[in-house]
């Protein structure tokens, strides 16, 4: 076995332990909690493609999570098809839709891109709230006919974890591949990448559309987890939360956001009962990470695991600088 595959056996063991744990008497409460955490882990991984891979700050990622929730809810309601199939169909529809939205949004830079993503997501959120006939408005959609395997808490617990593992390993492999290097090259120096024939908007548009599809899968799983769809799940707060997770976990490491997504979800849902001010501490930790740990908490771990490409961190000095003001470029 090559040295760089040494982590495989322990990982496989961990995966098996994880799956059989509920049958060995894991507490149903914890099983349920962890299920939610893992789904948020997938959501966080999807946002890492935005912040980590494209280097753009989007405040509208909740839109794609919501697209998964409502898309799957409506599709299952209308056709009664298999839930997992519905999730995949919705993800497949989300990808081109997101590509279109982002091709338009990517005409804008920096803060303007952040703002248009925010506005589009808020617009969708308002539509969902107001289109009562279709979405049930603030009452949400309930009584979704989920496939039986999603009704068994132990399966519901295992499926997202399997998907998360596939996504994390797959994305890390893609990140190291030629395509991944192109994505990173475009992020680090779009002008230079353009000289090699890589169109910034196209490369970022594709990355963002993949990210949205993953977010939609997370949303579909979240629907299965909750059994109902509520507009709050796609509010701006959801978008902020996933951003916090990725920043704290460490943008661009894929693992970091996955772990942070799970961890912060678990903390939030176990601490809100004991400390009412969990969000305050979360905010403080987040601000400190932005200030002092450009690679996130994940950056504190062994380098080989967390930052395999030795790339420059997104949040380092100078990142995004060239896009702050067009006028300044006159002087260069």
By beta-carbon proximity to other proteins, the closer residue of 3 and 291 is 291
Q: Which of 106, 158, 213, 218 binds other proteins (CB under 8 A)?
A: 106
By beta-carbon proximity to other proteins, the closer residue of 31 and 114 is 114
Q: Which of 115, 174, 182, 228 binds other proteins (CB under 8 A)?
A: 115
Spatial distance between the Cα atoms of 168 and 257, rounded to a whole number of angstroms: 10
Size of the site for other proteins (CB under 8 A): 64
| Number of other residues whose CB lies within 10 A of the CB of residue 148 | 9
Structure tokens at 80: 């009664």
**For residue 141, which phi and psi values (nearest 5 degrees)?**
-110, 125
Structure tokens at 139: 């009452």
From the centroid of its chain, how far is CA 84?
19
Q: Which of 191, 273, 274, 302 binds other proteins (CB under 8 A)?
A: 191
> Which residues does residue 229 pair with via DSSP β-bridges, in sequence order?
141
What is the residue whose two structure tokens read 């501490």? 281
By beta-carbon proximity to other proteins, the closer residue of 156 and 313 is 313
For the residues of 240-288, what is the DSSP string, one character each? HHHHHHHHHH-TT-SHHHHHHHHHHHHHHHHHTTT-TTHHHHHHHHHHH
Q: Using CB under 8 A as the criterion, what x/- string covers residues 86-105 for binding other proteins?
A: ------------------x-
CB of 182 to other proteins, least distance (A): 17
- Told to check if 324 binds other proteins by CB under 8 A, we report yes
Only one of the segments 5-13, 113-121, 220-228, 301-309 lies at the binding site for other proteins (rule: CB under 8 A); that segment is 113-121
Structure tokens at 17: 């332990």
Q: Which of 4, 273, 274, 329 binds other proteins (CB under 8 A)?
A: 329
Q: Which of 100, 126, 145, 305 binds other proteins (CB under 8 A)?
A: 126
**What's the DSSP call for residue 218?**
H
Only one of the segments 24-32, 206-214, 265-273, 324-332 lies at the binding site for other proteins (rule: CB under 8 A); that segment is 324-332
CB of 243 to other proteins, least distance (A): 7
- Told to check if 310 binds other proteins by CB under 8 A, we report no
Structure tokens at 103: 């091709």
3-state secondary structure of 312: coil
Write out the binding residues for other proteins, residues 131-190 only, by CB under 8 A.
189
Residue 280 near residue 156 (C-beta atoms within 8 A): no
Residue 201 near residue 103 (C-beta atoms within 8 A): yes
By beta-carbon proximity to other proteins, the closer residue of 39 and 106 is 106
- Told to check if 194 binds other proteins by CB under 8 A, we report yes
Spatial distance between the Cα atoms of 22 and 205, rounded to a whole number of angstroms: 40
- Told to check if 247 binds other proteins by CB under 8 A, we report yes
> Which residues does residue 141 pair with via DSSP β-bridges, in sequence order?
229
Write out the binding residues for other proteins, residues 274-293 only, by CB under 8 A.
276-277, 279-280, 282-284, 286-287, 290-291
Residue 186 near residue 203 (C-beta atoms within 8 A): yes
- Told to check if 81 binds other proteins by CB under 8 A, we report no
From the centroid of its chain, how far is CA 287?
20
Which residues are at the interface with other proteins (CB under 8 A)? 55, 57, 59, 104, 106-112, 114-116, 118-120, 122-123, 126-127, 130, 189, 191, 194, 200-201, 236-237, 240, 243-244, 247, 276-277, 279-280, 282-284, 286-287, 290-291, 294, 314-332
């Amino acid at each position: 076995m090559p040295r760089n595959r040494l982590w495989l056996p322990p990982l496989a063991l961990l995966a098996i332990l994880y799956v059989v744990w509920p049958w060995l008497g894991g507490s149903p409460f914890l099983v349920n909690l962890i299920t939610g955490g893992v789904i948020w882990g997938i959501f966080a991984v999807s946002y890492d493609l935005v912040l980590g891979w494209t280097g753009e700050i989007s405040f509208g990622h909740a839109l794609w999570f919501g697209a998964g929730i409502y898309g799957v809810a409506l599709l299952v309601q209308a056709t009664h098809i298999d839930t997992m199939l519905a999730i995949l169909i919705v993800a497949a529809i989300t990808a081109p839709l997101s590509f279109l939205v982002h091709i338009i949004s990517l005409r804008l830079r920096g803060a303007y891109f952040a703002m248009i993503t925010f506005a589009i997501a808020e617009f969708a959120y308002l539509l969902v709230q107001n289109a009562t006939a279709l979405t049930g408005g603030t009452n949400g959609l309930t009584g979704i006919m989920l496939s039986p395997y999603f009704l068994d808490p132990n399966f519901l617990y295992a499926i997202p974890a399997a998907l998360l593992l596939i996504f994390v390993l797959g994305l890390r492999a893609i990140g190291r591949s030629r395509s991944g290097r192109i994505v990173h090259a475009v992020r680090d120096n779009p002008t230079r990448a353009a000289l090699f024939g890589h169109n910034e908007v196209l490369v970022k548009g594709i990355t963002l559309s993949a990210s949205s599809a993953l977010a939609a899968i997370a949303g579909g799983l979240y629907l299965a987890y909750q059994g109902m769809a509520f507009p709050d799940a796609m509010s701006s707060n959801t978008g902020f939360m996933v951003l916090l997770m990725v920043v704290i976990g460490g943008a661009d490491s894929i693992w970091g956001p996955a772990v942070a997504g799970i961890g912060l979800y678990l903390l939030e849902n176990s601490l809100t009962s004991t400390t009412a001010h969990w969000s305050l501490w979360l905010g403080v930790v987040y601000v400190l990470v932005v200030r002092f740990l450009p690679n996130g908490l994940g950056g504190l771990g062994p380098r080989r695991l967390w930052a395999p490409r030795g790339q420059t961190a997104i949040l380092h000095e100078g990142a995004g600088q060239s896009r702050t003001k067009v006028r300044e470029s006159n002087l260069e």
